[in-house]
Structures are given as structure tokens and as C-alpha cells.
Chain A
Amino acid sequence: MDEKEILEELHNQDWDSIILRTTNYVKKRLGTFELIKGSKLFARGSSAQDITFKAIQLLFDGERKWNKKVHPELTQHLISTVNSLLSNHFNSYEGVNRTIIYEINNDLEFESFWDKIISDSSPNELLEFSETYNECLKIIEDDLDLSDLLLYITDGYDRKEIAKMMNKSIAEIDNMKKRLRRKLNNELSIRKAGISK
């Protein structure tokens, strides 16, 4: 595919959906980071929109080329770029007097965002993260299925393995995961808002 065809393909994308979904993803990531690190300074004044637009710009500038074999959907590719940008934000946030620069590491793995954050955290922070996790277990302690699901997820089992162990279909596990994610994010946000008051 030559550059002209690539450009036409980009032109024909459903940009409304891409912009909305990517921004929502960034917002959630920033929110979770704020939740666990307790700081709004992480993004250094960059909004979720800014980060989404930067990822789009890098795509068109050719600095982050879309590889459809790795990410069949453009949104997935942009999410991968966003993770690199957020990882750079994190480096900048952690460093003293460092300026935010959008250096993109194309080798950065999709999952490495949390790897980086966790491996760079102090023992006290790790303890706080564990407490957040335990808080989540308490939130769902009355629902045995959700409690089991969270334990399996954190142990690293995939949806097929979990479905087999819980004697449920994969679709049921997917729905349970969505329900669990919403419940935990909502409850944690409410509790955090309560603390900050």
C-alpha cells in the first residue's frame, strides 16, 4: 500500500468513534492513575483530549505508523500510542525538573505502562496499591462470583481459563468483567471524592 492509499484509508475511518473511544480510554487511565497516585499533576496540564490529538498527529506525521497486523482497528493503534505518551508523562512526572517531551518508543509494549509505574513505585506506594486492591475485594465481598473473578484476573488467568474454572460461558465472563470494572471504578471514585472532601 503506497502513501496515497494509506492516506485514503485514514480519511475513510470512522473518526467520530475513534476520537470518542480513545479520549474515553485516556480519561480512564488518567483517572486511575490519579486514584492510585493521588495526584492531578501527572498529566502536567495535558487533558485527555490533548493526549488523544497528539496520538492522532503522530499517526499522520508517520512517527507512529499504523501496523494493521498488530492492531487491526485504528483505535487500538491509537491506544497503543497513548500508552507510550502516558508512559513518557509518567517519566516526566517522576523526574525532577524534567520537561515533558513526546519521545516515542516504538518498542514499548502495550502492557508496559503499569509495569513501569509499579516497578518505579516505592515500598510504601506498593503497600498503598495493595490496600486499594484489598478495598476492591471488600467492595464485592457479598458477591462471590465477582470476588472469584477478581482473584482469577489478578492471578493472570485469561477469559477462557476463567470461564472453565467458573463453569460459565466466555460471554458471561466478559459481561461479568464489564460489571466488575464499572462497579470498582465507580466505588473507588466515590470513596476518593469522599476522602478529598
Chain B
Amino acid sequence: MNPNKNQNELKNFFEFLTEDDCKDIKQVKEELISAGIQPDELLKEGNEIVKKLIGKKRKELTKVRLLQIKEKLNSFLQTNNKISGTTAKEFLLNLLGDRNSDTLQTSFRKIENLSDKEALEILNENQLLEFFSKIMNEEK
């Protein structure tokens, strides 16, 4: 036997030793415990981090979406001199996005049920952002 394995063989050997072959969670937990890691504590800390990161990402996405809504409103108001209740509702529905989305059905109904007067009243920056902030919170 050659006492000096070549580098490629050594790489294959160490890759093999550290390969991820354990998909059985019970066994993974046992291995972690034997390595001095308590699975329950690990999960508590890990899930807390994931929860925070998801929350942070959601806030970022909401901020970007509200900014886009604000820009679209300004453009809509600049290009339309006379706005009817129907046009206002159509604009709001378009802002919402994909009408086939299951998660947005409640929000679509909410806009469709607005009276013409209510739809027109929403067409100012503060009201519109408040309206969509509520919708986005409900989507979560």
C-alpha cells in the first residue's frame, strides 16, 4: 500500500468522512446531543432568528411596495383630470396586483365594495398608504 495517498484520493476520503448522510431527524438529534449540542435549545434560538429575519424582510418588502404605490398614485393623478368612482376603483384594483391570487381575494372584495365616494376619498397619499398598509397586514 502506498503510504502517501495522492491529493485527489485524500480529498475523496475526507469528503466521504464528512458527507451529509443523515436525514433521519431522531438520529440527527442523537448525534447533536453526543456532540454536546442540545437540540431543543438550538431550535429555540434558530427559529427565533428565522422569525426575526422573516419579519425584517417583510417590513422591507412592505416599504418598497408602499413607495411604488405612492409613485403610481402621483402618476395617476397627474395624467387624469376627471376621475370617477369607477376609475378610482379600477386604479385601486390594479394597484393590488394579480386578480387570480387566492390570498388577495378578500382585499379585492373590499375594494369592489367601496362606494364611489369612498374610492375617490382614498385617492390621496395618506389615505391610500393607510388603506394598503392595512391590506398588506391582513395578507400576512
Contacts and interface: CB of A to CB of B under 8 A. Distances in A.
A129 B10 CA distance: 7
A173 interface: no
Interface stretch (B32-40, B73-81, B109-117): B32-40
Contacts, number: 137
Interface residues of A, number: 54
A119 interface: yes
A114 interface: yes
Nearest to A53: B49
Nearest to A112: B11
Interface on chain B toward A: helix, strand, loop, or mixed SS? helix
A25 B18 CA distance: 8
Interface on chain A toward B: helix, strand, loop, or mixed SS? helix
A188 to B, nearest CB: 8
B16 A57 contact: no
Interface of A: 3-4, 7, 10-11, 15-17, 19-21, 23-25, 27-29, 31-32, 36, 48-49, 52-53, 56-57, 60, 75, 79, 111, 114-115, 117-119, 126-127, 129-131, 133-134, 136-137, 150, 153-156, 177-178, 181, 184-185
